[in-house]
Amino acid sequence: MSATTATADARIPLRGHLRHTGALIRRNLLWIRQDPESMFDALLMPVVFTLLFVYVFGGSIGQALGGGQDGYVQYVIPGMIAMMSMTLSQGVGTGFSQDFNSGVMDRFRSLPIGRGSVLFAKITVELARMLFATAVLMIVAVLVGFDINHWGGLFAAVGLSAVFASSIMWVFLTLGVVLKNAQSVQAMGFLVLFPLQFGSSIFAPTQSMPGWLQAFTDYNPLSTLADAARGLMVGGPVAHDLWVTVAWSVAITAVMAPVAIHKFRTKS
């Protein structure tokens, strides 16, 4: 089966792959239009997390930073852009798993379309959801006092987050193929996301953490992504964190994209 699908994919020209991807993107967008509740997480998550961390933790952490709650707003918002890239990436895996269990993927695999087109369309639509969530986040951020002084830095930070998110989506696509149902994907995603998000510099500086945890945060790509976004949007060192984040993104994609495509082609 895998040899047959690989041969079929090889016969499809690049223009055909692009056309198939565009058609599948349209199909996924129409599905969101028919099921607007699927956008609730992208709409509500930025609002809830921003209000929670700014008004519950902002005072105490802000004092430690030396700037009070206003200073914490400037610190945490760039980190939350990084968090959005990771949290919403999980949706591509759960949606993929649901499509398999509903029989939609069996229909796609019976059609003469590029197998990679199905995966690229999923990633494109989830990136659009992430950008929507980021726009909501920035609206709420401005309302709670965030100062956008570097518009170019803001767009660069969002672009960097999108690059990293697209790499993480290959991991969740693989989980969506390998695991049996969407609940399993969500559970596995939680086990991955929770330590990465809170064991990072997204919500608080890492200097006060125990030494062993600081060692973990130094290698945590969410820390470098949050610090790069912070440098781009607020000011500060950028180059090291930016290149480390790009390196993580390239490495994850290089490893996981072939795995996800292979698992999708050979899934029985």
The whole-number pLDDT of residue 266 equals 80
Residue 56 to residues 62, 63, 69, 123, 133: CA-CA distances in angstroms?
11, 13, 10, 34, 21
The residue to which tokens 């199905």 are assigned: 118
For 183, counting Cβ atoms within 10 Å of its Cβ (0-12 exposed, 13-18 middle, 19+ buried), the class is exposed
The whole-number pLDDT of residue 208 equals 79
The whole-number pLDDT of residue 90 equals 84
| Side chain identity at residue 242, one-letter code | L
Residue 147 to residues 43, 48, 69, 141, 181: CA-CA distances in angstroms?
21, 20, 13, 8, 42
The residue to which tokens 């690049």 are assigned: 14
* Sign of the four-CA dihedral 168, 171, 176, 182: negative
The whole-number pLDDT of residue 3 equals 46
The whole-number pLDDT of residue 192 equals 84
| Token output for 213 | 């945890």
List per-block mean pLDDT (blocks of 10 residues) for the chain, which spans 268 residues: 48 68 81 77 86 86 80 92 86 81 70 74 89 93 90 94 94 88 86 87 86 87 94 91 95 94 79
The whole-number pLDDT of residue 141 equals 94
Query: 187-204 burial string, b = 16+ CB within 10 Å, else e?
Result: ebbeeebeebbebbbbbb
The whole-number pLDDT of residue 250 equals 97
- Give the up-direction half-sphere exposure of residue 169: CA atoms within 13 A in the CB hemisphere: 26
For 17, counting Cβ atoms within 10 Å of its Cβ (0-12 exposed, 13-18 middle, 19+ buried), the class is middle
| Side chain identity at residue 41, one-letter code | D
